[in-house]
Amino acid sequence: MPEPHIDAISSHPWVERAWHTGADEVVIQPRAEALAVHPVLGPLVREHLEHWSEVYEWIYRTSDTAQPADLDLSGWRASDTGEPLPREHMVDWIDRTVELVREAKPRCVLELGCGSGLLLRHLHADVERYVGTDVSEVVVERLRAAALSGVRPVIAAAHELGSPQVVEALSGRRPDCVLLNSVTQCFPGGDYLDAVVGAALELVSDGGRVIVGDFRHAGLADRYYRWLEPDDEAAALRAAADEEFVFDPRLLARIAARATRPVSVSVRAKTMAADTELTRYRCDVVLHVSAEPAPRPAVVAWHTLTGDRLTAARALVEAGPVVVSGIPHALLEDDPEGVRPHVLRACLAGTGAIVGLDLDHPTRLQVCPPTGTPAGEILPPSDATTQEPLTRFVAHRLPEVVRDHLHRMLPGVTPPALTVAYGRNAR
């Protein structure tokens, strides 16, 4: 193939270099700047985020405005059927998430990606200031029109939490809770998560919390796809087509371990009563900033408890800090000793203990204190456990851009087959 092809491809500002792999194929490697999160978003990252912005702007613009404002379930659909999730299940989801935020009695909340205000509308009366950001102009304008007490809606993306408009809305306060709930699935990948969560950990006040909620656990990804598609080939196709960012909670611990203040990490199971994707495969992580070091609790294995194990577990946590480990998650393990998360939550009511997830074995529940584990004591995850949608997006989008560039640079010349390599695939 003539070198002008390579020269023309390499001249595009998003391309680092290009090389032949055969007579009619060229591999292109994107520039690091095109994939950057700092100091400014690279164009490929920006386009990925704009794609999701357009999706949600359409969802909210076409939503049923006749439904109650505090229960606008636009976009909430079951993964297996595509049908809207049951109303009663979503009410349970709201109650459990509101309960999680209220746990530390915050006075100033910054929610990144507040959407239609499912949580905001239930929490704002409990706090002095609630700043809700979203990329959708439609929902921000609706929230402004609602004129809810203490609420300051702002048009901003998650990475813009330090922007002038957010700072102004906070009125000089540092939030004692930064909430990212059911938004990380739209993130391009780990670098963006790192930037947003790292900034949130710096912004939140001493003793405050950063809550990253309702994300799919990468350690359960295979089970999730097999739940959707029992056939191996169909499950693999479903996995290949997945556009969501899926990661291991230990990735958040790795981010938190680099913070300038000590952070402890608490991984929570979803404890709604219904058996859906939300209860099976999602979890919440609470990052406690500058928390007082908690005494290391004793660890008791579930299988060693005698008699009624639920009663025995409650008695243990009432007596003092303890972790009851190795409890089979009844929705994920076919084990006669398994327990459904909502049953365990009901058993622990009033004790202060929470239903956690085992970091190394996500099909196992734990009864544990809410204070969590110091981030530096948690082993980082394997990179293989993270599913980054930016990789697939770049593999599709960059060849499109380069082909258009070639048509302009070399009109009338048939472009070669183009593939993308970066990260592990770049030579």
For residue 74, the model assigns a pLDDT of 73
Domains of the chain: total: 3
What DSSP letter does each residue of 299-340 carry, written as one string? EEEGGG--SSHHHHHHHHHHHS-EEEEEEEBTTT---TT-B-
Give the mean pLDDT per block of 10 residues along the chain (427 residues).
77 93 86 94 96 89 69 78 88 96 97 95 96 95 94 97 96 96 95 97 97 96 94 92 93 96 97 96 96 83 96 95 96 95 97 95 96 92 79 94 93 89 59
Asked if residue 55 is part of any domain, the answer here is: no
- Amino acid letter for position 125: A
DSSP state of 427: -
Residue 264 and residue 407 in one domain: no
Residue 279 and residue 326 in one domain: no
For residue 427, the model assigns a pLDDT of 43
For residue 425, the model assigns a pLDDT of 44
Residue 92 and residue 205 in one domain: yes
For residue 66, the model assigns a pLDDT of 62
CB atoms within 10 A of CB 379: 10
Asked if residue 378 is part of any domain, the answer here is: no
Residue 232 and residue 355 in one domain: no
Residue 173 and residue 281 in one domain: yes
For residue 65, the model assigns a pLDDT of 64
> How far, in Å, CA of 325 to CA of 330, rounded?
14
Asked if residue 121 is part of any domain, the answer here is: yes
Residue with tokens 């495969």: 281
For residue 75, the model assigns a pLDDT of 75
Asked if residue 396 is part of any domain, the answer here is: yes
> How far, in Å, CA of 89 to CA of 102, rounded?
20
Residue 254 and residue 172 in one domain: yes
Asked if residue 219 is part of any domain, the answer here is: yes
Which of 277, 294, 311 marks a domain boundary? 294
Asked if residue 171 is part of any domain, the answer here is: yes
Residue 210 and residue 321 in one domain: no
Question: Residues 270, 377: contact at Cβ < 8 Å?
Answer: no
Query: Shortest CA distance to 367 belongs to which of 417, 325, 319, 306?
Result: 325
Domain span at 110: 63-294
pTM score, two decimals?
0.94
* CATH number of the domain bearing residue 399: 3.30.300
Q: Two tokens at 182? A: 């059911």
Residue 190 and residue 283 in one domain: yes
Asked if residue 412 is part of any domain, the answer here is: yes
- For 396, the 3-state DSSP assignment is helix
Residue 104 and residue 251 in one domain: yes
Residue 137 and residue 243 in one domain: yes
Residue with tokens 């593999």: 395
* CATH number of the domain bearing residue 67: 3.40.50.150
CB atoms within 10 A of CB 128: 12
Residue 263 and residue 129 in one domain: yes
Question: Residues 331, 357: contact at Cβ < 8 Å?
Answer: no
For residue 170, the Cα-to-chain-centroid distance in whole angstroms is 23
Residue 114 and residue 144 in one domain: yes
- What is the separation, in whole angstroms, between the first and last Cα of the chain? 20
